[in-house]
Chains A and B, each alone.
Chain A
Amino acid sequence: MISNDRVYTYSEIDKLIDATCTKLEKSGLLPGEIISIILKNSVEYVLFYLATLRIGCIINPYPYNLESKDAIRYLENVNPKLLFCHKGHYEYMKNSAKSQVVLVDDDFLDKLDGSDKRADFKPEQKSPACIYYSSGTTGSPKSVVFSHKNMLSNISSICRGFKFNEEEAHLIILPMGHTASVNYSFLPCTLLGGTLLITESFWKIRQNFWDLIKKFNITYVEVVPSILVALLHTPYDEKDYSGIEKLKFIGCGSAPLPVELQNKVHQKFDLKVANLYGLSETGPTHVDYPLDEGWKPGSIGKPLDVNQVDIMNENGNMLDHDQVGEIVVKGENVFIGYHGNQEIYDKLVVDGRFHTGDLGYKSKDGIFYFTGRKKDLIIKGGINISPDEIDEIIFKLDEVKEAITVGMEDEYLGEKIFTYIVLKDGKKLNDEKVKGFCKKFLSKEKIPDVVKFVESLPKGPSGKILRREMKN
């Protein structure tokens, strides 16, 4: 593992995990208790993640770029025994979180005491291992629980599907508090004995991106579509990206990947892009392995070997090939529950099949295509945003009679947030005031990019505002 210019062997990491276990146990933790972390991409993240599992506790990570006021809503739902965070979140959490909050400061590694080698905790396969945050479609916190069996089946299936081996060297540039880089890089590389190069974010290394790929013989890196756009438009010299043959392909997920973007990257860098599909509740469900003969750009590939994936209509009947319906997923990797919310779980998991809320179809040769979402969701730069959450805030403004928020296509971010407002008679408001008001309640990525004032909004027979009409 390489982080901050320092190289760690597996043996060193193993010892540091044991030392972190000792630190955790001194806090009086018992197996089955929850530990939350809001840490930058770092060695500390890896240590807390693996030490938590080693002592039989449940790890609950959050992306470091999630604003504290958003993270606190999830923490209230999860109610961890301990919360470890880097300094960017510490003050807020110390004053607001109900749990005990511990600062992980810059010299954390230096202060770790040595520890005797210990055996890994042997969990029941069905017992919870991780709880991941999901922004969901309603704006209310959803915390997704995965068992040890879920995680192992998913990770080992990904390794088989993408033909990962012990020669892997993965570059991590996405926030590790999201599942993407954990499921495709951190855990697969750890399982196989590969190398991880951990960086804080793409934006911090954008200028040297190709240098790092070459210097560390990187074989795989996971991105979101807006990073591909940035790679295409950043004025790199052609020699910057020559000699990157070790990089087998790039994986791109977290937001729909336009096939034109996939093709442009291939043409410019001679690099294929896998279109990664999965959900917070399942982890990855498909393999789009671009080095296979017959690879179909634009598809999401075939199901992982632990998944049974079907297309269903609204009556719950299976659809034949080439018919668009809801993607439903069954398999060992499907989550075991939403923390503290059995009701939603029972609604979405029927007969062991998770109803994704995504639409798609399967071709005759078993390749799947994602076509859209049943549910209203904005994906801005790979971040899921519920439009309802924004509308709820807008409605607090006295001047607003009606409002609707939608995602509109954007070349770089995938989608931008547009809010349409109908004002009450005689009332005045401007976009600056709306955005300023939103800033008080919403994190920065959720602030509408564009606010438009209109005379009326399209409605259905029942009087419900037709959000999708506004997108058109």
Chain B
Amino acid sequence: MGKLEEIIANIFELDPSQIKKEMTPADIETWDSLSQLNLISSIENEFQIKFEIDEIFTVMKIGDIYSLLSKKGVL
């Protein structure tokens, strides 16, 4: 399991094996505005990057987190 999956699993209280890129807040009970911010904050700390506010709101599904990190050159 990679560090990103560990963070996602920890924030959303999921088993890492449950995480799928197409999952949206509608699929994950614990995915609310606060947990999304906590997720962003944890990723920023772990990967030593900073997201702009517009970037935070592009995350609509799990896969968007990977895309965002890819754009930042982290993944």
Contact = CB atoms under 8 A, between A and B. Distances in A.
A215 to B, nearest CB: 16
Contacts of B24: 207
Contacts of A230: 33, 57
Q: What's the interface size class on A, roughly?
A: 20 to 34
Nearest to B29: A88
Given A203-B31, A203-B33, A234 B25 contact: no
Contacts of B26: 204-205
B16 to A, nearest CB: 20
Contacts of B36: 203
Given A230-B57, A235-B57, A202 B34 contact: no
B58 to A, nearest CB: 6
Nearest to A205: B26
Contacts of A206: 25, 60
Contacts of B31: 203
B75 interface: no
Contacts, number: 41
B56 to A, nearest CB: 7
Contacts of B33: 202-203, 226, 230, 381
Contacts of A411: 53
A381 B35 CA distance: 12
Interface string B9-39: 0000000000000001110010111111110
A233 B53 contact: yes
Contacts of A233: 53-54, 56-57
B57 A203 contact: no
Nearest to A226: B33
B9 to A, nearest CB: 16
Contact of B58 (A203, A226, A235, A412): A235
A241 to B, nearest CB: 15
A65 interface: yes
B75 to A, nearest CB: 20
A424 interface: no
Interface in A398-456: 411-413, 444-445, 449
Contacts of A234: 57-58
Given A88-B29, A207-B24, A233-B53, A413 B37 contact: yes
Interface string A49-80: 00000000000000001000000000000000
A132 B56 CA distance: 34
B33, B38, B56, B60 pick with most chain A CB within 10 angstroms: B33
Nearest to B38: A444
A190 interface: no
Nearest to A411: B53
A371 interface: no
A201 B57 CA distance: 16
A203 B26 CA distance: 8
Contact of B60 (A65, A202, A207, A449): A207
Interface of A: 65, 88, 201-207, 226, 229-230, 233-235, 381, 411-413, 444-445, 449
20 contacts: A203-B31, A203-B32, A203-B33, A206-B25, A206-B60, A230-B33, A230-B57, A233-B53, A233-B56, A233-B57, A234-B57, A235-B54, A235-B57, A235-B58, A381-B34, A411-B53, A412-B56, A444-B34, A444-B35, A444-B38
Given A203-B31, A234-B58, A449-B41, 9 more contacts: A203-B32, A203-B36, A229-B53, A233-B56, A234-B57, A235-B54, A235-B57, A381-B34, A413-B37
Ranked nearest first, the 9 interchain pairs of A and B with the lowest CB-CB distance are A233-B57, A234-B57, A203-B32, A203-B25, A203-B33, A204-B26, A204-B25, A233-B54, A207-B60
